[in-house]
Amino acid sequence: MDIVGLISIALTSIFISNILLAKFLGMCSFLECAKTVKTANGLGLAVVFVLTLTAPLNWLIFNHLLKEDALTWIPGVEAGSVSLEFLQFLTFIAVIASSVQIVEMALEKFSPALYSALGIFLPLITVNCAILGVSLFMIEEDYNLLETVVFAFSSGIGWWLAIMGLAAINKKMMYSHVPEALKGLGMTFITTGLMAMAFMCFAGIEL
Amino acid sequence: MSFSKSKEGQVLSNPLVQVNPIMVQTLGVCSALAVTAELKPSLVMSLSLTAVLTCSNVIISLIRNFIPNKIRIIVFMVVISTLVALADQVLKAYVFEVSKQLSVFVGLIITNCIVMGRAEAFATTNTPKMALLDGLGNGAGYSLVLCVCGAFREVLGAGTIWGAKLPGIDSMYAAGYVNNGLMVLAPGAFFLIGLFIWVSNTLYRSSK
C-alpha cells in the first residue's frame, strides 16, 4: 500500500476534481443551504460523516455480494457465476437510507450536543446525490477498501470546502448590486462558476 | 404566460417555462450541469429521465392510497431505483458508448430531486392520468434546458453539433477563430445555466 497514491487520491478529490465544482454532485442542497455559514458548516460536516460511513459499507457489500464471481463462497455449482451488479442502485440507496437513519437515532441517544448540531441535516442527506455518487464512482474507479475510505473522506472535505466558500461569498453579496432578474438562483450559479474556475487552477498539479 | 386553459393542458405545459424544474424549482440541477458538454448525451439523459419520471409518477399515483404515510419515502425510493436499474440496463444494451459517457449519472437519476420532488408534491395527491401529464410536462421542461444547454456548449466549445463539424467552421478557424474551451469544462455549465435563469426571469417577469 503506497502512501503517495493515497495522498494523491485525497488531493485530487479535494481540489482538482472537487466533487461539487467539477463533478456537479450534491448541487441541490448546495444551492438551498448555502444561505448562512452556520447552516453550511453543519451540512458540510454531516456530509463528511455520512460519506465516510456509507462508502466503505457499500464497497464491502458490492465486492462480497454483488460483484461477478463474488458469491463463490456459497457451495453450489451456479452461485459462483452469478452477477448481481444490476442490483447495485437499489442496494446502495437502501444502505445509505438505513445507515443515515441508524446514525440519527444513535446520535440522538448518545450525543445530544452533536445531534442538535447535525440532526436536522441528516434526513436531507439521504437524497443528496454526492453520497450515492461517491459510492458509484468508487465502483467505476475500482478502488480498494483503503482507497475508498480516503476517497470518501476527502470528497466530503471537498464538498464542505465548496459550500463554506459559497456561503461566505453569499454573505458578502448582500452588499452588492445584483441585477433584479439575476438575484437569487441565477447569481448563485454565476458565483459557483467563478469558484469552479478558481479551482481549475489546481488542475495542473500531479503527484 | 399559460399556453392552455384546461387543467390538463396547464399541468402539461406549465413546467416548460413557467415552473421549469431546473430554472425555477431548482430540482435536478446536478445532471443538468454534468452531462451537457455535448448534445447527444444530453438528449439520451433527457429521454431516460422523462421515461423514469413518467413511469414513477404513474406507478406512485396508482398505489398512492396504499402507501403508509410514514414510510412513503422508502416506497418512492424502491419504485424509482427499480425503474432506474431498468433504464440503465436498456441504455447499456442499445447505446453502450453514450452510457459509458454518462457514467454514474444514469444511476444518479435515483437521487435526482425532480423524480422524488414530483412524486412527493404531485403524484401522491393526483389521479394517474394527471400524474402522467405532470411527468411528461416536467420531463419536457428538463429536456428543453438540457438540450439547449448541450447544443450551446457543443457548438461554442467544440465547434461541432451532434458530433459533426459545423458548416463553414474551417474557414472561421483559418480566419483566427478559436473554440471556447471553457464551455466544455465545469465553469461553462454554471455560467450558461445562470444566464438561462437570467433570460427566463427577464422574459417571464416582463410578460406578467
DSSP B172-197: HHHTT----GGGGSHHHHHHHHHHHH
Is the model's pLDDT at A154 over the cut of 90?
yes
Q: Which helix (H) or strand (E) holds A62?
A: none
> What value does the mean pLDDT take over residues A53-59?
92
Instruction: Report yes or no: B52 at the A interface, CB cutoff 8 Å.
Output: no
- C-alpha to C-alpha distance for A71 and A154, rounded to whole angstroms: 31
Q: pLDDT tens digit string along B123-166?
A: 888 999 999 999 999 999 999 989 998 998 888 888 888 878 88
For residue B17, what are the CA distances in angstroms to A182, B11, B46?
A: 16, 12, 16
Measure in Å the smallest separation between the Cα of A75 and chain B Cα atoms. Answer: 28
C-alpha A76/C-alpha A72 separation (Å) is 8
Task: Dump pLDDT digits (tens) for A81-117.
Answer: 677 778 888 889 888 888 888 888 888 888 787 777 7
Within 8 A of B116 by CB-CB distance, chain A residues are 127
Torsion sign over Cα B44, B2, B113, B151: positive
The residue of chain B nearest to residue A198, with distances taken between CA atoms, is B187
Is the pLDDT score of B44 beyond 50?
Answer: yes
CB contact under 8 A, A136 and B104: yes
Whether residue B50 has pLDDT greater than 80? yes
Q: Are A8 and A207 in contact (CB under 8 A)?
A: yes
Angle (CA) A154 A52 A42, round 5°: 80
Q: B193, A189: Cβ pair inside 8 Å?
A: yes
Cβ distance of A187 and B89 shorter than 8 Å:
no
Distance (Å) from the alpha carbon of A184 to chain B's nearest alpha carbon: 10
CA-based nearest residue to B110, from A59, A158, A126:
A126
What is the pLDDT at residue A206?
A: 67
Angle subtended at Cα B81 by Cα B76 and Cα B85, rounded to the nearest 5 degrees: 155
Q: Return the closest-CA partner of residue B78 out of A93, A202, A158.
A: A93
CA distance A128 to chain B (A): 7
B125 touches A at CB < 8 Å: no
What are phi and psi for residue B160, nearest 5 degrees? -125, 165
Determine which helix (DSSP H) or strand (DSSP E) holds B80, and give its type and residue range. Answer: helix B72-94
Q: Say yes or no: A19 contacts chain B, CB-CB below 8 A.
A: no
For residue B206, name the pLDDT band (cuts at 50, 70, 90). low
